[in-house]
Structure 1
Amino acid sequence: MLRGMLLSLLIALAGCAQNPAGLPLWQERQVAPPSLQYLGVGGYLLRWQDEALLFAPSFSNPATLGQPPLVVQADNAKIDELMPKADDVSMLLVGHAHYDHLMDVPRILEKHAPKAKVYGSKTMGHIMAAVLPRERIVDAERVMADGAKPGQWFYSPEKRIRAMPIKSMHAPHIFGIKFLGGSYDQDLTALPKSVWAWKEGQTLSWLVDLLDEQGRPVYRLHYQDSASTPPQGLPPQLDDTKAVDVAILCVGSWQQVPAYPDVLLKRLQPRLAILGHWEDFFGNDPRQPQGLRLQDIQGMVRTTRANLPADGELKLPVPFAQIALPAPR
């Protein structure tokens, strides 16, 4: 309880969410495929060749008087209202197990993506086991890339999408302090109610390939739902020499870790950088997004642009905007 009060106090002292006026927001809603749809916080929907993949969406956004809540529960009505059609999704990737990334996943898997399996850390699996059959939960932590060692590729049913987990880390939240750490080593019997019980577990980055009929990567995407200190989160060098086309970055807490996103972008040199997790999620309406409190969003935009290749683009999407992938090379 004391830790929860401290966290609430720290955020309260930061004031209100930021007015997004002046940010270079991307708001297109009708984009020809292949494209990526931003769902808010760390969530994205990616469709390719009649298959689809989700990065864990979050819509409930609970709050206590506009500040971080201490007790949380998924808002099924809100999820059902906001979640796009996803019955073609076969893979749902989770970066870490905090409530703002994992709490809405059970409802999405039950009602909106009933054919999908969920991939993530051991802790993620132990939490999801409270409500999901084990055959729908994949422990990706045991085969994650670690430093120079490549990880295992997980393939979609039609083998048009594959994903590799990468050992990463979660940035501190404020003043170099990280809250909500820890892990689980056995299955839960009920979903957590306390914010503190949604333990982080091992944070993962993800490398995602969109494949042609011969199984060759047409697009490669790198995804993070939390800023990380290099070399954590960096992809391993792979023999296929395929470059990363799209880097999906996290604005939240980006200034709490050194050299983010500089080192990552210099390694990836993506043609497109997408900045997510930039909007406030304490009781917000994602259809009217406000900027995260205590975050220099404009600074993240400038830093990202400064580290992109000459032909690189940057997008800061509002929730539900669609972003076209660059033309394949």
Structure 2
Amino acid sequence: MPNIDRRRFLRDAAASTALVSAGGLAGTALTGPAHAAPPAAAPVAAAPAGRRSGPVSFRWWGTSAWRIDIGDRTVLVDPFLSRIDTGLFRGAFNQATKLEVRTDVVDSLVDRAETVLVTHTHWDHYMDVPHIVGRTGARVVGTLTAYHLGLAYGLPSGKLSPVRGGEVLDFGAYTVEVVSSLHSRNLSYSMAFPGVRVSQPARPVTIADLPEGDTLAYQLRVAGGPSVFFMGASDFAERNLTGLAPDVAMVALPSSTATANYAERLLDALDRPKVVVPVHFDNFETELRNPVTVAPTDRERLDTLVAAVRRASPRSRVIVPEYHTAYHF
């Protein structure tokens, strides 16, 4: 038996079948047998005493943003909720667009947070983070660029945790493994706003003041629950994914065909997760309202990605998420 299949066999034997429930499984937008609702499964094993209490839920907030509630504790990933109009989806992208946090929207959704995981510091991942941290007192985990940008916004250094990849951070009810990753490539084999911040800059004013700043991925393991892999951009270093073998993978939609064999290499590296959830496929300059708005070209890429997942990992269940829906894995 090949090594990758043996690892999967041992993992599957040790864990119950992934449980995905969301009020009738809202969010399974695609049809066909690979997207049918799963049969009822046994609940995941109870958490060790004193480690976690209460249910675990995952809510998608568009792009690669997630809210994870672990009992009465909340983790956010790339919480971009203001969804300002830069002209990107109208073919009139304005890189001088002002950074304007829509505090009414953000505050209506973020009532609490203890940890914010930032994959990279482009505006559609980082822009709302300083406001959220100022309001909730959450800790930010991110690159050195995220650290220096946090200082530029006046956040206390004690709330900023710079990481590089390889760290495994213990938060009691959950651990976070940091994975050094890569940003997506456009058709020119480049990206918008590359660069890092190696010292504290002036407070950002426009979206161009928030560079990519290196890219991370994260694997969150809930005590007595699932292991879930989060991507914020559609590229990766295969060697850095070896051994993660998550139960669930939040997979970013490729922004171009510049990255070769994207889905196939990614799923192989992740040991073919039980559940694959595409993210970053929506028009993130529209309101967070269902049904999810998807640009025609992104709809084609989404269908292509799902087809590639089905070919490369036919045992994986694909869940196309809807906004605000609570998923239980």
Same fold (TM over 0.5): yes
Summarize the Cα distance change of 1:69–1:293 in structure 2 as closer, same or farther, 3 Å threshold: farther
Q: Which aligned pairs between 1:295-310 and structure 2 lie closer than 5 A?
A: 295=298, 296-310=301-315
Name the counterpart of 1:244.
246
Name the counterpart of 1:11.
none
> Which of 61, 77, 84 is matched with 1:62 structurally?
84
- Once residues 252 and 155 of structure 1 are traced to their aligned partners in structure 2, the CA distance between those partners, rounded to angstroms, is 31
TM-superposed deviation, 1:64: 4.5
- Once residues 309 and 287 of structure 1 are traced to their aligned partners in structure 2, the CA distance between those partners, rounded to angstroms, is 31
Name the counterpart of 1:92.
116
TM-superposed deviation, 1:82: 4.8
1:77 matched to 2:100: no
Deviations 1:152-190 (CA, angstroms, capped at 9, x unpaired): 21122xx11111111111011334332210011101241
Name the counterpart of 1:6.
none
Give 1 or 2: higher helix fraction.
2
> Which of 140, 146, 168 is matched with 1:153 structurally?
168
Summarize the Cα distance change of 1:237–1:297 in structure 2 as closer, same or farther, 3 Å threshold: closer
Paired residues in the alignment total: 273
- Once residues 247 and 324 of structure 1 are traced to their aligned partners in structure 2, the CA distance between those partners, rounded to angstroms, is 13
1:275 matched to 2:297: no
- Once residues 135 and 198 of structure 1 are traced to their aligned partners in structure 2, the CA distance between those partners, rounded to angstroms, is 21
Give the residue type in structure 2 aligned to 1:313: R
Whether contact under 8 Å (1:23, 1:298) holds in the other structure is no
Q: Percent identity?
A: 20
Name the counterpart of 1:314.
318
TM-superposed deviation, 1:252: 4.5
Name the counterpart of 1:196.
208
Summarize the Cα distance change of 1:64–1:246 in structure 2 as closer, same or farther, 3 Å threshold: closer
Give the residue type in structure 2 aligned to 1:41: T
TM-superposed deviation, 1:250: 0.4
1:172 matched to 2:185: yes
1:219 matched to 2:226: yes
Does 34-43 or 60-69 show the bigger shift? 60-69
Whether contact under 8 Å (1:153, 1:162) holds in the other structure is yes
Q: Which runs of 5+ in 1 are unaligned?
A: 1-21, 145-150, 213-217
Task: Please report the TM-score for the alignment, with normalisation by the length of structure 2.
Answer: 0.76
Name the counterpart of 1:19.
none
Q: Which runs of 5+ in 2 are unaligned?
A: 1-27, 38-53
Whether contact under 8 Å (2:183, 2:215) holds in the other structure is yes
Give the alignment's Cα RMSD to 1 decimal: 2.5
Whether contact under 8 Å (2:148, 2:201) holds in the other structure is yes
- Once residues 256 and 120 of structure 1 are traced to their aligned partners in structure 2, the CA distance between those partners, rounded to angstroms, is 26
